[in-house]
Amino acid sequence: MKLFKYPYLVQNEILNNTEFSDLLMFSFVSKRMKKLIESSSQMQRFGNVKTIRYDHRNGRTFVCIPFHHYHDHMLQIAELDDTQNDYFQLNVSEKMINFRIVYEDNKYCPVAYYQPNECESVLNSVHDYFHIFFGNSVEYYWFAHDYTKPIPQLQNLSACIDMPTEQWLDMQRFEHFISLCPILKFIDIDILNVTAHMSPDSKFFQAEHIKMLLFEPTLPANLLNFQGRQAFVDCMRCSSRELIEFVNKWKSGEAFDKLELMKIKSFRDLAQNEILEAIEAKYFDSAKEPPAHILPKVYRDIAFDEQPNTDPITSYTYVVRETDSRVASVLIHDKTFNFGVWDKTEDEFLRIME
């Protein structure tokens, strides 16, 4: 069966019935095969690829493309397994890499293997190959699902942590892991108990977007060290004192200069009046409709999160930053403290409602 004897339309139809993991392998068959992929309507499929994820868990890295409601697994990257002998070698961005094809979850998937000392170079080569294969407009994310292996420093790669509930977070190991990571784009973590307090200087607080579930009582106070843009925190308890301190630090311009949104949901009631009074909140005319604060999310998994924007904060109360007159809406409602920073001065903000 000679593929190249088929008319172009048939070749294209065959390629339409393949997955990205197949196309990836096809691209290594020959230059002509690669050209066929590039000249076919597959490039439209490639155009639908907006992000590529590296998910690292249990010693393996799973490379997938998020699509609507699923992640299409395209490749795995793992340490060489001496018990296997069916490897084949491929030249990936000028580096010879051992591969095998595995069958898992009803799907064939190629696996690229590395020797313990060449992990970084294999990742680099694979990453470079993706840049050529998918083009430069794709966003790349590395998701660490544990803190065993540092996130590699790769070109155009956003580092993220997505860690499930862990009974005890080994803070020393976790802090060490974070210190070796690039600045994090996104952290989604559940923390039940910690072996030690988190350092206020931790790189953890530099993450652009944090989503946390906290059972550990000391951590909400640590949020005063947050330097990123958006934070969503569910916690056992959050004291009024911490929230007041947070707002006052923002108002004085002492901290949180990049902050766009902070949302803290407590399991206990929040002292709304006490907090609003202490932060000297200003009030709109209740006869007018206050503007809704909405922002594009810093990060979202396009496969499972269809909402590109944050939930609106519609509030009659706001505070003003002393240093630049920037406004933040404040809403304390249903055990939740919402703080949304506007890209507007107080005058500009008030004009919206006129």
Partner 1 sequence: MSSTEQGTSSAAPAEPTTAPESAAAPEVPESFYYVHGKDKVVHKVSAGALQHSALIHGMISNLGYTEEQAKANPFPFENIDGDILQMVVDWCNQHKGKPTPPEDTNLPKQKEKLFDLVLAVNYLEIKELLTYCCKQVAMMVKGKSPEEIREIWMIPTDAEDEAAEKEAKKRAGKEAAGETAAAAGDAK
Question: Nearest CA to 136 among 208, 52, 257?
Answer: 52
4-23 residues near partner 1, rule: CB under 8 A? 4-7, 9-10, 13-18, 22
DSSP letter for 94, please: T
CA–CA–CA angle 259, 262, 266 (5° rounding) = 155
Name which of 15 and 126 has its Cβ closer to partner 1. 15
Backbone φ and ψ for 39, nearest 5 degrees, come out as: -95, -5
Distance CA 36, CA 15 (A): 9
Distance CA 334, CA 311 (A): 14
One-letter amino acid for residue 245 of the chain: E
Name which of 89 and 273 has its Cβ closer to partner 1. 89
Name which of 122 and 181 has its Cβ closer to partner 1. 122
Which of 48, 82, 83, 103 is the binder for partner 1 (CB under 8 A)? 103
Smallest distance from partner 1 to CB 90, Å? 7
Helix (H) or strand (E) holding 11: helix 8-16
- How big is the site for partner 1, counted in residues (CB under 8 A)? 30
Which of 101, 132, 192, 294 is the binder for partner 1 (CB under 8 A)? 101
Smallest distance from partner 1 to CB 225, Å? 50
30-59 residues near partner 1, rule: CB under 8 A? 30-33
Name which of 25 and 331 has its Cβ closer to partner 1. 25
What's the N-to-C CA distance of the chain in angstroms?
Answer: 73
90 is a contact residue toward partner 1 (CB under 8 A): yes
Smallest distance from partner 1 to CB 8, Å? 11
CA–CA–CA angle 82, 83, 86 (5° rounding) = 90
Name which of 107 and 241 has its Cβ closer to partner 1. 107
Distance CA 212, CA 67 (A): 25
Q: Are 250 and 259 in contact (CB under 8 A)?
A: yes
60-89 residues near partner 1, rule: CB under 8 A? 88
Q: Which residues bind partner 1 (CB under 8 A)?
A: 1-7, 9-10, 13-18, 22, 25-26, 28-33, 88, 90, 99, 101, 103, 108
